[in-house]
């Protein structure tokens, strides 16, 4: 069975378990198995037939881009990684350049 690592924000569904062993040949089957053990978790991982926006899935160190049909091996490790938001513009890239959002540079010259 694959090992699924549960992000801290979803551990209330898994009785605070950090990792869970579940069967499944695809990511969709794996999420269905999680839902069978922990009702309600699927709604936090999926938006209809897709992975929720802002949530990345990593299978064996590779970002899963195949959606719910992504293949999962028997000994795979699966991580659900929530997006990290924040920050502010401008972004200093290095001591010589600054990145501005589109349109803001013109406003600076006014």
Tell me the sheet residues that pair with 92: 98
Question: Whole-angstrom Cα distance, residue 6 to residue 13?
Answer: 9
Residue 54 three-state SS: coil
Under 8 Å between Cβ of 98 and 91: yes
**Which CATH architecture is the domain 2-82 placed in?**
Roll (3.10)
Cα 86 versus chain centre, distance = 16
Quickly count helices (H) and strands (E) in the chain. 3, 9
Computed from CA positions of residues 65, 67, 73, 79, in that sequence, does the dihedral angle turn out positive or negative? positive
For 33, other C-beta atoms within 10 Å of its C-beta total 19
Position 54 scores a pLDDT of 87
**Full-model pTM:** 0.74
**Tens-digit pLDDT profile for residues 44-99:** 999 999 999 889 999 999 999 999 999 999 999 999 998 776 655 555 555 555 55
């Amino acid at each position: 069975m694959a090992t699924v690592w549960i992000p801290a924000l979803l551990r209330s569904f898994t009785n605070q378990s950090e990792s869970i062993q579940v069967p499944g040949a695809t990511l969709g089957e794996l999420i269905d198995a999680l839902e069978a053990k922990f009702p309600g978790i699927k709604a936090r991982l999926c938006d209809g037939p897709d992975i929720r926006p802002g949530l990345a899935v990593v299978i064996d160190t590779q970002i899963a881009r195949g959606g719910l049909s992504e293949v999962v091996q028997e000994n795979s490790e699966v991580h659900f990684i929530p997006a990290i938001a924040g920050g502010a513009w401008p972004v200093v890239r290095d001591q010589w350049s600054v990145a501005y959002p589109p349109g803001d540079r013109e406003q600076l010259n006014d």
